[in-house]
Amino acid sequence: MSRAAVIVLGPDRAAVSGVSTHVNLLLGSRLADDFELVHFQVGSEGREEGALARWVRLLVGPFALALAILARHAAIVHVNTSLNPRAYWRDLAYLLVAKCCGARVLYQVHGGALPQDFLLVHHPIRAARRLATAFLRATLWVPDVIVVLAQCELAAYRRFVPAQNVAVLPNGIDWRPFDSIPTVRSFPEQPLRLLYIGRIAREKGLYEILQSMRLADELGVDARLIVAGMGVEQARLRRYAHALGLGERVCFTGPVFGADKLKLLGGCDLFMLPSYAEGLPYALLESMAAGVPVIATPVGAIPDVVADGTHGLLVPPRDVKAIANALAALCADRERLSWMSRACRRRIRAAYSVDRVASELGLIYGELCNRGAVHLAERK
């Protein structure tokens, strides 16, 4: 019996992003045993293109998707998107093309704004706000199912499009490569070893991390930070670290992968992620799989994964004093870090494996193929 074809939209598979990580995990999972998964590249990540090439891609891309659907007789188009203006308008074209070609559409939202807060609805003219809201609601009716990452997103989408099929499906990882990393063992006489892995951007709370290190130093906390990643804020962040007198305590390594990432995780005490907004970061799941407790903000799906005081500490966004106090508390109680480390490993193994994602996504794919509609009333 032939497998149903599923076209999975996402960035270049070699791009450094959460969505590309998600796509690669799906394509390499056991989901590919039951369905013919076909990657279709969208977006600029992983491309070197000028303005003209970008406009050509945006114009030609939907037609290329239509050809791919018809050539593969694809049953499902799996759109991986975010609710931000750039991704929304780009992927709206792909969504409409998929439906016109007769494919079922799974619309997976990887963060961005909640629909009630989306940029389109902010307009000084009340009639324009109502029109924009109605347009957004109408477009969110088009997919056969919407999949989100967090419980707060599930509630928001169900309020915004009440009769739409909406499911929560958190990300998952292959935790086995991280299992070889020893449980955190930290000693009071050693500096507190902090790690950030990801895109270097202001909204990740990196400036607040540096400010909190400066404040924590006044509380007697000797901390060192490694920033592994790249982004537009890198040079400015480096200068800011020097301006705060932290130049010798902050190391920028650039992006890390494979064994280098495992080595970094194995040599740190805490993973730092005080972001202003998130979906469900893979770096967070990987750090916890490696047994590294976290200091993070309760945004997106993070509070679904991290129990405050068990897997790390949750702090309000942009609250430098709260981060500094969290550093001081954990610096003074290194034994607490060790049992948090063990709790983190158990959490990821139990609920955030890629096998669990493949299994749940396979059920949704199967319902789309068999009945053309997904009944999610009992789904979490």
* Residue 379: pLDDT over 70: no
pLDDT, tens digit (0-9, with 9 covering 90-100), for 261-277: 999 999 999 999 999 99
DSSP label at residue 15: S
**What CA–CA distance (Å, rounded) separates 276 from 27?**
30
Within 10 angstroms of residue 119's Cβ, the number of other Cβ atoms is: 14
Residues 232 and 323 occupy one common structural domain:
yes
Cα Rg of the chain (Å, integer) = 22
Per-residue model confidence (pLDDT) at position 340: 96
In a domain, 198, yes or no: yes
Report the pLDDT averaged over residues 203-219.
96
The closest alpha carbon to 330, from 233, 216, 229, 239, belongs to: 216
Residues 198 and 338 occupy one common structural domain:
yes
Range of the domain at 290: 176-351
* Residue 12: pLDDT over 50: yes
In a domain, 43, yes or no: yes
Least confident of 1-10, 164-173, 177-186: 177-186
Contact 178, 286 (CB under 8 A): yes
Per-residue model confidence (pLDDT) at position 1: 59
Contact 296, 344 (CB under 8 A): no
Report the pLDDT averaged over residues 234-238.
96
pLDDT band of residue 372 (cuts 50, 70, 90) is low
**What CA–CA distance (Å, rounded) separates 252 from 226?**
6
pLDDT, tens digit (0-9, with 9 covering 90-100), for 90-120: 999 999 999 999 999 999 999 888 998 885 5
Of residues 227 and 187, more confidently modeled = 227
Per-residue model confidence (pLDDT) at position 380: 45
Residues 48 and 101 occupy one common structural domain:
yes
Residues 150 and 287 occupy one common structural domain:
no
Q: What is the CATH number of the domain that holds 324?
A: 3.40.50.2000
Per-residue model confidence (pLDDT) at position 117: 83
| Number of domains into which the chain is organized | 2
Per-residue model confidence (pLDDT) at position 378: 44
* Angle, helices 282-289/18-27, rounded to nearest 10 degrees: 70
Residues 334 and 259 occupy one common structural domain:
yes
- % the chain with pLDDT above 90: 79
Residues 56 and 141 occupy one common structural domain:
yes
Mapping DSSP to helix (H, G, I), strand (E, B) and coil, where does residue 158 land? helix
Residues 319 and 361 occupy one common structural domain:
no
Report the pLDDT averaged over residues 1-24.
90
In a domain, 363, yes or no: yes
Residues 213 and 157 occupy one common structural domain:
no
Contact 134, 99 (CB under 8 A): no
Residues 62 and 188 occupy one common structural domain:
no
User: What is the residue-averaged pLDDT of the chain?
Assistant: 91
Residues 35 and 8 occupy one common structural domain:
yes
In a domain, 379, yes or no: no
pTM: 0.89
Residues 202 and 347 occupy one common structural domain:
yes
Listed in sequence order, the residues at least 6 apart from 157 whose beta carbon sits closer than 8 Å to its beta carbon are 109, 114, 115, 140, 146, 148, 164, 166
In a domain, 213, yes or no: yes
In a domain, 376, yes or no: no
Least confident of 62-76, 179-193, 211-225, 344-358: 179-193
pLDDT, tens digit (0-9, with 9 covering 90-100), for 66-78: 999 999 999 999 9
Within 10 angstroms of residue 181's Cβ, the number of other Cβ atoms is: 18
In a domain, 314, yes or no: yes
Listed in sequence order, the residues at least 6 apart from 80 whose beta carbon sits closer than 8 Å to its beta carbon are 8, 9, 10, 19, 22, 23, 108, 110
DSSP codes of every residue in 298-360? S-TTHHHH--BTTTEEE--TT-HHHHHHHHHHHHH-HHHHHHHHHHHHHHHHHH-BHHHHHHH
Counting Cβ atoms within 10 Å, is residue 294 exposed (0-12), middle (13-18) or buried (19+)?
Answer: buried
* Residue 300: pLDDT over 60: yes
- % the chain with pLDDT above 70: 94
Report the pLDDT averaged over residues 330-347.
94
Residues 334 and 194 occupy one common structural domain:
yes
In a domain, 140, yes or no: yes
Of residues 204 and 179, more confidently modeled = 204
